[in-house]
Amino acid sequence: MTPTRTHLMILIASLASSLPMAQGCERTPPEPPAQTSWSWRGDDVGVALRLDSSWEQLDPRVIHERAVFAARAERDRFSLHMLVVDLPGGDALEHDLGQLRSQSVDQLAQNVGDFELDRQGPLTLDGRAGHSVFALGDVGGVRYSYLLVYVIDAGRLYQVVATSREADSQELARRVDGALVSWEFLDGT
C-alpha cells in the first residue's frame, strides 16, 4: 500500500503535535535573560546614570560638539545625549528653567521641519524639579520623536535629548525613563 496524500498529512500532524511533549511536559515560556546594565559617571559635570545593556556609549562629540555623554541603542534606532551648560549666576536662575526650556524648544523648531509640540510637563530628577518635552519633527523626510529633559543643579543646566523615529516614540520614552530613574547628582560639584 502506497501512502496517500491524506496519510502523509495525518503523519505530519501527529509528529507536529508530539513535539511539545518531546520537549517536556511544561509549556511555560522560558524566563527572559536578566537585563544587565552599565553606569556612566561624569565627575566633571556632577552626574551619574545607569543604562540597560541595549545602550552603547558613543563619543559624545559625534552627536553634538558640546555633548558630555552620548549613547545609542539598536544601531541608532534610539539615541540619547546630554549637554551641560554652566549658568552665569548659578542656581539663582532656577526660576528661569521654563525660559531656558522655551529657548531650546524654539531652536529645535527652527532646525526641524513640520515641528509639533506633543506634550510637556514637570519631572523630578534626584529630587530636583525639571521639565520634560515631547515633540515631533521632520529631518530629511523622516518623522522623528524628540524627548527633551531640562534640570538645573549646582549652577548648571542639564539638557538630555533623546530621539527615535516617530513610530518608536513610546519605546523611546520607556527606555529613557529607565535611565532617568537612576539619575544621580554627585556631591562636591
CATH code: domain of residue 127: 3.40.1000.10
pLDDT at 101: 86
Instruction: Find the mean pLDDT for residues 19-48.
Output: 62
Q: What's the pTM?
A: 0.76
pLDDT digits (tens, 9 = 90+) for 63-96: 888 899 999 999 889 999 999 988 887 655 555 7
Does residue 13 belong to any structural domain of this protein?
A: no
- At residue 125, what is the residue type? L
pLDDT at 26: 37
Segments forming the whole domain that contains residue 134: 37-185
Does residue 5 belong to any structural domain of this protein?
A: no
Residue matched to cell numbers 539638557: 159
Does residue 60 belong to any structural domain of this protein?
A: yes
Confidence of residue 39 (pLDDT cuts 50, 70, 90): very high
Residue 2 has pLDDT above 90, yes or no: no
pLDDT at 91: 57
Does residue 12 belong to any structural domain of this protein?
A: no
CA distances from 87 to 25, 119, 160 (A): 64, 26, 16
pLDDT at 68: 97
| No. of helices (H) and no. of strands (E), the chain | 4, 10
Distance from C-alpha of 121 to C-alpha of 132, rounded to nearest angstrom: 5
Residue 169 has pLDDT above 50, yes or no: yes
Residue 164 has pLDDT above 50, yes or no: yes
Residue 133 has pLDDT above 60, yes or no: yes
CA distances from 189 to 81, 123, 156 (A): 20, 22, 10
Tell me which long-range contacts 101-110 makes (C-beta under 8 A, separation of at least 24).
Answer: 101/131, 101/133, 101/148, 101/150, 104/148, 104/150, 104/159, 105/133, 105/135, 105/148, 108/135, 108/137, 108/146, 108/148, 109/135, 109/137
Does residue 15 belong to any structural domain of this protein?
A: no
pLDDT digits (tens, 9 = 90+) for 97-112: 888 888 888 999 999 9
- Cα–Cα nearest to 138, from 101, 174, 166, 175: 166
Does residue 174 belong to any structural domain of this protein?
A: yes
Per the model's pLDDT, the better-predicted residue between 92 and 115 turns out to be 115
Number of domains in the chain: 1
Does residue 48 belong to any structural domain of this protein?
A: yes
Average pLDDT, the chain: 80
pLDDT digits (tens, 9 = 90+) for 19-30: 233 333 333 443
Q: Which of these ranges, 4-18, 67-81, 110-124, 162-176, has the smallest mean pLDDT?
A: 4-18
Nine cell digits for residue 118: 506633543
